[in-house]
Amino acid sequence: MRFYLILSLLIFLPSCDRPSIESPSQAMRLTKTPSELTDDLDYALLEKGILENIERLKEIKKNILAFGPKEISKENYIKSLEFLIGNLDSKERFIKALKSNFEFYEVYGKKNWGEVFITSYFAPVLSGSRERTPQHSQALYGLPTDLVNIKLDQFIGIKDKLSSLKNPETGKSNVSILRGRIVQDEHSTNVVPYYTREEIDSKQRLKDQDIVLAWVDPIEAFFLHVQGSGTVVFEDGEELRLGYASQNGHKYYAIGKHLKNKIEGDISMQSIDNHLRQLSYKEMRQILYKNPSYIFFRELEGRPVTNFGTETIDGRTIATDRNFFPKGALAYLEFPEPIFKDDKTVEIKGYKDKSRFVLDQDTGGAIKGTHRVDLFWGRGKEAGRYAGVMKNWGKLYYIVPKDEFIEGLD
């Protein structure tokens, strides 16, 4: 679900100081088990998430999960997760089972092993309308009928040409799918780039397509695009749950970069929102148009769905770069949680060290490399308050069954 995630897309991160890596086998290494394993959340949602990971792992075609240099068969990893489920009746028993039968692998990190930059995302809840109103003037669109996906790696000779576009960290091409539209005239038929944000919203390029899902506030719509999923609540109380369907193919531009010299203090979702609302409608739109990327949505029956295909788990779902880290895996995250000055403000008075078991289930457009993690905080305004300010360094470990434990399973 999270095709674009919150502050990871709104801030500018410095370049990596360590040498880049080219293979998932370099993405983590065996390390000591953290001296104290603690978890600040209830285990009920952890059990739910692990069970959903098991079912999803059974469905996917991938047969091997790579934890750095160590590869585990999908079958054995599923058995390992099932073993942990049997020990989730108490935290003490669960921790004991982990320490006895599993190892911890720290990720490659940025400057140091294990070190990751943690941001957060959430599922917004927006007020909306079924018809356009002065308050709800921005359309949320479903999948356009004229959007074309071009899978470059399926064309003869393209793979060789794509080699020049390889990501230096992964060794893989940054371009595999192009999105555009077909344009015909009397002389030729061509595929051209799809409409930009400005063309869609200002020039109403989609007005002839019956794909409007709801009407919402334009600034809230923009942040919904950043999150990739959320809920629209209509005046009669009916809810419309939306998830990511596709994107227009244009590169994301973080408007926080444009505003960093215009906003006092830290750049956050809240500070950007406040700044935009102080501008005229035209000025606000011109800033939003600096980001040409645009998201199209689909209706969901349940909770937001991750890229892995499972539902998000509040406080436990994480998004990482799938080129390096295995989806469906259990991990352990240590991070500083912000402490707010009061119940309403986003002013931070300090941080409290937290740690918990998390589930690698999602990806994100800006979550690239071995030092980036996005933590799903939850649904609604309070979750957004935390997600909007999360931008701290922490540590990430993956939990891997020991060889002798796997032999015992066999």
User: Do the Cβ atoms of 283 and 275 come closer than 8 Å?
Assistant: no
Residue 183 near residue 205 (C-beta atoms within 8 A): no
Tokens coding 167: 């990501």
State how far the Cα of 8 lies from the Cα of 254, in Å rounded to an integer: 9
Work out the mean pLDDT of the chain and round it to a whole number.
Answer: 89
Does residue 8 register a pLDDT over 70?
no
C-beta separation of 395 from 334 below 8 A: yes
Q: Which residues contact 258 (CB under 8 A, 6 or more apart)?
A: 287, 290
Angle between helices 91-101 and 74-85 (to 10 degrees): 150
Predicted pLDDT of residue 158: 66
Q: Where are the domains of the chain?
A: 7-122+311-409, 138-254+284-300
Sign of CA dihedral 195, 198, 201, 204: negative
Res 289 pLDDT > 50: yes
Q: How many Å apart are CA 406 and CA 72, to the nearest integer?
A: 9
Is the model's pLDDT at 172 over the cut of 50? no
Q: How far is CA 325 from the centre of its chain?
A: 14
Over residues 294-352, the pLDDT tens digits come to: 999 999 887 788 989 999 999 999 999 999 999 999 999 999 999 998 887 888 899 99
CATH class of 138-254+284-300: mainly beta
- Kindly state the tokens that stand for 169: 């960290």
SS3 131: coil
Q: Which residues contact 196 (CB under 8 A, 6 or more apart)?
A: 248, 250, 289, 292, 294
**Architecture per CATH, 7-122+311-409:** Beta Barrel (2.40)
pLDDT tens-place string over residues 131-145: 999 999 999 999 999
Confidence band of 409 (pLDDT split at 50, 70, 90): confident
Q: What pLDDT is recorded for position 288?
A: 97
Enclosing H/E stretch for 137: none
Residues 175-205 pLDDT 10s: 567 899 999 988 999 999 999 999 999 999 9
pLDDT digits (tens, 9 = 90+) for 261-272: 898 877 888 899
22 pLDDT band, cuts 50/70/90, is: confident
pLDDT confidence band for 70 (50 / 70 / 90): very high
Percent helix, percent strand, percent coil in the chain, to nearest 5: 25, 30, 40
Does 138-254+284-300 match 7-122+311-409 at the fold level?
no
**Residue 34: band (very low, low, confident or very high) from pLDDT cuts 50, 70, 90:** very high
pLDDT confidence bin for 11, thresholds 50/70/90: very low
Give the single-character DSSP code of 187: S
DSSP structure class, residue 284: H
The pLDDT value recorded for residue 161 is 60
How many beta carbons lie within 10 A of that of residue 407, not counting itself?
A: 10
Question: For position 157, what pLDDT does the model report?
Answer: 65
Residue 156 confidence (pLDDT) above 80: no
**pTM, 2 dp:** 0.76
> Which of these, 313, 325, 303, lies nearest to 375 by C-alpha position?
313
Report whether 389 contacts 338 (CB < 8 A).
yes
Q: Are the beta carbons of 380 and 125 closer than 8 angstroms?
A: yes
85-103 per-position pLDDT tens digit: 999 999 999 999 999 999 9
